[in-house]
Amino acid sequence: MAEQNPDESESPETEEAEERQSPSSRVVHEAIIAEGVEELERPNSALAWSGLAGGLSMGFSLIAEATLRAAIPDRPWRPLVTQLGYSVGFLIVILGRQQLFTENTLTPILPLLDRKGSATIANVLRLWVVVLLANLVGAALMAGAITRHVVLSPEVHDAVIRIGHETLEPSALAILWRGVFAGWLVALIVWLLPFAESARIWVIVIITYVIGIAHFSHVVAGSIDVFALAWVGEASWGHVLIHFVLPALVGNIVGGGALVASLNHAQVVAGD
């Protein structure tokens, strides 16, 4: 009697179970590496325009949050609702495939860890500089636009300024540490999205909501808050850059690059 091929002996239940299995960390790792390689091959002009769009789009987080704040009575539970607006800009940027610096603390780092070399390091630094500068220019332009009194109602405009003061209030050290957690969470979004399928929106909303409600420091979203203060003359440009942007930037790089990228890369390598 001929032996049955093992593949042919698999029941429909076994095949369905295999289909329903979560992808392994190696599969996610390889998917992000492929995306990172693609990003590293993009020219400066494409990165700059996409980064500018990302910086502008992140302004809708501030607009949505300030609009909710202006519309809801001042109660202890109000932040639980207003911080839902914080996710709006991230949804636009991530689903719209626009460049955001904090995503790039993970995506190009995995190819770098996989293919160490001076050329890859230089290419990663090129991508970081172009995207970060484009994001910050977009953030500054958006902050300047929304602080014009003709754009938002007086109540929403006042809420924008209050949010800016709250973002700038912590010490630089606190902003740095909060930036570590923000970078960590945004990089986790990148790690989770490749196989999130229909849950992509929920992954983005839930994780960015945690960033907002915990007042973690995101270098692009937070820059729009503090740039609004600079545009209306309630803080100097030098102060917002040194006190907020620089510490948040360092924290985001540590959280996204050193923690998420390195640790998740290490777990895959250790499994080989």
Domains of the chain (ranges plus CATH)?
24-270 (1.20.1080.10)
Could you tell me the pTM of the whole model?
0.84
Contact 10, 252 (CB under 8 A): no
pLDDT of amino acid 130: 95
pLDDT tens string 101-138: 888 766 777 777 667 677 878 888 898 999 999 999 99
pLDDT for 267 equals: 60
Mean pLDDT of the chain: 86
Tell me what pLDDT residue 225 has.
97
Residue 263 confidence class, pLDDT cut points 50, 70, 90: low
Residue type, 269: V
Q: Tell me which of 6-20, 148-162, 197-211, 213-227 is least confident.
A: 6-20
| pLDDT at 12 exceeding the cut of 70 | no
Least trusted range by pLDDT, from 80-89, 237-246, 254-263:
254-263
**Burial zone of 187 (CB within 10 Å; 0-12 exposed, 13-18 middle, 19+ buried):** buried
**For residue 38, what pLDDT is reported?**
77
Q: Which of 31, 30, 51 is nearest to 42 (CA)?
A: 51
pLDDT at 17: 47
